[in-house]
């Protein structure tokens, strides 16, 4: 499903939390520079916090050194070992008095589809499975670890000011 620019702009006004899958979205299989990703996430969350937005990572990956480091970043919630991503996000948004319409989520695999279908804005990387790309609002190109963060900031900024 591809939305018109007007519909996307209307949806962007409701977004309060930016959530990302980890593997295949923030981390690319061919490029695993974790320090680069951590730096990008720190910068991203600082920009969001200054505008009263939240950020987070929802992953099926179990706790490891990377997820533990991500969890120490200010304004970044990290949920690991989550196969029920909708349930995990439901707990987060309930604690912050938000709704699914306030969520922008980027995922790339079959496990992400239920959350992508509930999120206010659903995005997939261009490398995502075809089934995933069928349920999102649009796709973005991701070239290196963390590059999706800058792409999202640019896209949101551009659409919000059009």
Q: Is residue 149 part of a domain?
A: no
Which residue range(s) make up the domain with 88?
5-136
Separation between Cα atoms, residue 14 and residue 9, nearest integer Å: 9
Separation between Cα atoms, residue 143 and residue 127, nearest integer Å: 10
Q: Is residue 90 part of a domain?
A: yes
Q: Is residue 65 part of a domain?
A: yes
**2 has pLDDT over 50:** no
Q: What is the pLDDT of residues 119-134, one digit of tens each?
A: 999 999 988 999 999 9
Separation between Cα atoms, residue 147 and residue 162, nearest integer Å: 23
Of the pLDDT bands very low, low, confident and very high (cuts 50, 70, 90), residue 158 is: low
**156 has pLDDT over 80:** no
Q: Is residue 129 part of a domain?
A: yes
Separation between Cα atoms, residue 49 and residue 161, nearest integer Å: 19
CATH of residue 80's domain is: 3.40.50.1000
Q: Is residue 53 part of a domain?
A: yes
The pLDDT score that the predictor gives to residue 1 is 42
Lowest mean pLDDT among 11-15, 78-82, 146-150, 155-159: 155-159
pTM summary value: 0.89
| Token pair for 156 | 């949101």
Of 64, 55, 106, 115, residue with least CA distance to 85: 115
Beta-bridge partners for 79: 58
């Amino acid at each position: 499903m591809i939305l018109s620019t007007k519909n996307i702009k209307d949806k962007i006004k409701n977004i309060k939390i930016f959530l990302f899958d980890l593997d295949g979205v923030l981390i690319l299989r061919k490029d695993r520079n974790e320090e680069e990703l951590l730096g990008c996430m720190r910068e991203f969350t600082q920009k969001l916090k200054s505008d009263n937005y939240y950020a987070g990572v929802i992953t099926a990956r179990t706790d490891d050194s990377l997820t533990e480091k991500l969890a120490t970043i200010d304004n970044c919630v990290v949920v690991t070992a989550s196969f029920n991503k909708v349930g995990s996000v439901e707990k987060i948004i309930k604690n912050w008095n938000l709704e699914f319409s306030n969520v922008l989520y980027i995922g790339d695999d079959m496990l992400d589809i239920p959350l992508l279908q509930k999120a206010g804005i659903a995005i997939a990387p261009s490398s995502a499975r075809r089934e995933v790309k069928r349920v999102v609002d649009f796709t973005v190109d991701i070239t290196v670890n963390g590059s999706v963060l800058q792409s999202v900031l640019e896209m949101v900024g551009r659409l919000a000011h059009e």
